[in-house]
Amino acid sequence: MARAELFPEIEPYETGYLAVEGGHSIYWEQIGAPHGRPALFLHGGPGAGAGAVHRRFFDPSHWRVVLFDQRGAGRSRPQGSIGTNTTPALLRDIEQLRDLLGIERWLLFGGSWGSTLGLSYAQAHPDRVTGLVLRGIFLGRPQELDWFLYGLAQIFPDAHAAFAGHLPEEERGDLLGGYLSRLTDPDPAIHLPASRAWSMYEGTCSTLLPTPATVLGFARDRAALGLARIEAHYFANRLFLPPAGLLAGMDRMARIPGEIVQGRYDMICPARSAFDLAACWRAAKLNVVPDAGHSALEPGIRRALVQAVERMRETH
């Protein structure tokens, strides 16, 4: 019978910090079997960070799982920093981490922005990737950014009103610019309320049904600042992706097997992107979860991700 739930809680068997360019120090950890099949967890955001629950998508008797907090996120230092923080820099960090740990090839697991970063890495280093398990596909296209900033008002008018309402009325025609100026202001009295407003907006729209605990998690100052500031920075720079976009580079990873898990009612990353990705990636299987939104922890998404990782056991 296919496993339906997360694996038990587990602590890392090794942790560390990796110094990378630009004065950043990247937190990383390993869990599971030290000699198991390598897998890399890529968190969302950008800026959200990895948490203890993310360790539980993997059978610890089979996988050697590496989790890390990307530049400025989670436990990485300096927290919330957007200096030298770009997608190409993150790809270099992943390669530096892979080299440090002596890993030749690994499975990539990522959702939302983690799917963007996973696709970017697989296209840059296809020989390093055994397979990908991706959730809540985000391709970083202009229409996807516009949907998050403005289109969500069609479905969550109340949440969007609170999001836009944090800015003076005269600035609401450019929500990203208005937020970015506040999120990068050195005064905590300015950047912390802005980060909470941005993060609570995202948290409110992340689940199929209202989930107050999720929203509260997004609202915590440390988590909110990393997520909101780094996310706005990346959005303002079109995610630092190639001008032609990620779909134009799918030929580089056409033979790599993939599992795409997508909530039918994902409002943060609507299903159109998952279908567009699957249409040009024949080696991937698309699983649309009919009763789920965006969050990896919604029951149907959680179950589908665990089962997808289990199916990836035999990829080479």
Q: Are 82 and 22 in contact (CB under 8 A)?
A: no
Averaged pLDDT, 167-172: 97
Quote the distance between the C-alpha of residue 178 and its chain's center: 24
pLDDT tens digits, 72-117: 999 999 999 999 999 999 999 999 999 999 999 999 999 999 999 9
pLDDT band at 218 (very low <50, low <70, confident <90, very high): confident
pLDDT band at 211 (very low <50, low <70, confident <90, very high): confident
Q: What are the residue numbers of the active site? A: 112, 266, 294
- Provide the CATH topology of domain 14-142+240-314: Rossmann fold (3.40.50)
User: Which residue in this structure is represented by tokens 């969302």?
Assistant: 44
Q: Rounded mean pLDDT of 258-275?
A: 98
Report the mean per-residue pLDDT for the chain.
96
pLDDT at res. 104: 98
Q: DSSP letters of 56-105?
A: GGS-TTTEEEEEEPPTTSTTSBSTT--TT--HHHHHHHHHHHHHHHT-S-
Per-residue tokens: 193: 């309320």
pLDDT of 217 reads 73
What local confidence, expressed as pLDDT, does residue 1 receive?
56
Tens of pLDDT, residues 268-280: 999 999 999 999 9
Contact 313, 37 (CB under 8 A): yes
Cβ count near 96 (within 10 Å): 15
Domain boundaries along the sequence of the chain: 14-142+240-314, 144-234
Residue 282 has a CB neighbour count (10 Å cut-off) of 10
pTM value is 0.97
